[in-house]
Amino acid sequence: MHALRSIALWVAVLTAAAAVAADWQTIITAEDRDRLDRLAEAIAEGDARASASNPAPEDVETLRAVLDPPDAPIAAGKLAGDWPCRTIKVGDILVVYGWFKCRIAVGDDGLLLEKISGSQRLTGHLYADGPSRLILLGAATVNDERPLPYSALANEADLADLDADLVGVLTQPAPNRLRVLFPWPHYESIYDVMELTR
């Protein structure tokens, strides 16, 4: 039994490593490529607007604690599992939300990140982009709506929605911490950052 578990774990690690080797640049839409290319601009503009709104000092401290640590190499084979997660929205105001449930799973199409509780949900695939970051291509839903595919991956049976598309950059500042930066979301903010920890 122990040997079978070891084999299953090894297969999962190999699957995860293969999954994040896919080329996201052949999938991403032109709009999301533009959003991703302007990530630094989104952070600068979002921070400036939030600062002008006189945010609570503890919210600023929380944002800086999530954003400032440097990236470390991604441990792709160890990402699968449950991750408590929270989102910070940065723009005309700075809002730090409470903790919800996220999950990273190894599926047929590679690593899948899901936010599975709270009113704002997301589902997206993760793709390698060098040793220290993954690109997330996914879609947002609300409450218990059926998860949507990223529009460029939708087939005729899917209800693709360009306004639901999300593009993000996942980095791993510590073994038990991940963050995902979402530049220029369609609603509410200039950029969002999701913190995942366990």
Q: Quick one: 144 exposed, middle or buried, by C-beta within 10 A (0-12, 13-18, 19+)? A: exposed
**Is residue 182 classed exposed, middle or buried when 0-12, 13-18 and 19+ CB atoms within 10 A define those classes?**
buried
3-state secondary structure 65-118: HHHCCCCECCCHHHCCEEEEEEEEEECCCEEECCCEEEEEEEECCEEEEEECCC
- In the prediction, which pLDDT does 146 show? 86
Which residues on neighbouring strands pair with residue 138, listed in sequence order? Answer: 124, 166
Mean pLDDT of 48-69: 97
- In tens, the pLDDT along 67-87 reads 999 999 999 999 999 999 999
Residue 11: pLDDT band with limits 50, 70, 90: very low
Mean pLDDT of 147-153: 86
- Selection from 128, 157, 153 nearest residue 138 by Cα: 153
Q: Is 45 helix (H, G, I), strand (E, B) or coil?
A: helix
Domain positions in the chain: 2-197
**What is the per-residue pLDDT for 12?**
45
Give tens-digit pLDDT for 104-117. 999 887 899 999 99
Conformational region of residue 184, where left means phi above 0, alpha means psi within -120 to 50, and beta covers everything else:
left
- What are the distances in angstroms from CA 41 to CA 44, 45, 47, 50, 191? 5, 6, 10, 14, 10
Q: Is 170 in contact with 134 (CB distance < 8 Å)?
A: yes
Structure-block tokens of residue 87: 């989102």
Q: Per-residue pLDDT for 17 more than 80? A: no
Confidence of residue 157 (pLDDT cuts 50, 70, 90): low
* Average pLDDT of the residues in 166-179: 97
> For residue 77, which of 127, 111, 116 has the smallest C-alpha distance?
111
Query: pLDDT at position 5, please?
Result: 41
| pLDDT, position 187 | 84
Mean pLDDT of the chain, nearest integer: 88
Q: Are 193 and 179 in contact (CB under 8 A)?
A: yes
In the prediction, which pLDDT does 23 show? Answer: 87
pLDDT of residue 39 exceeding 90, the answer is: yes
Confidence band of 161 (pLDDT split at 50, 70, 90): low
Query: Is the model's pLDDT at 183 over the cut of 80?
Result: yes
- Return the pLDDT at 136: 97
In 3D space, the residue among 74, 57, 40, 59 whose CA is nearest the CA of residue 191 turns out to be 40
pLDDT confidence bin for 180, thresholds 50/70/90: very high
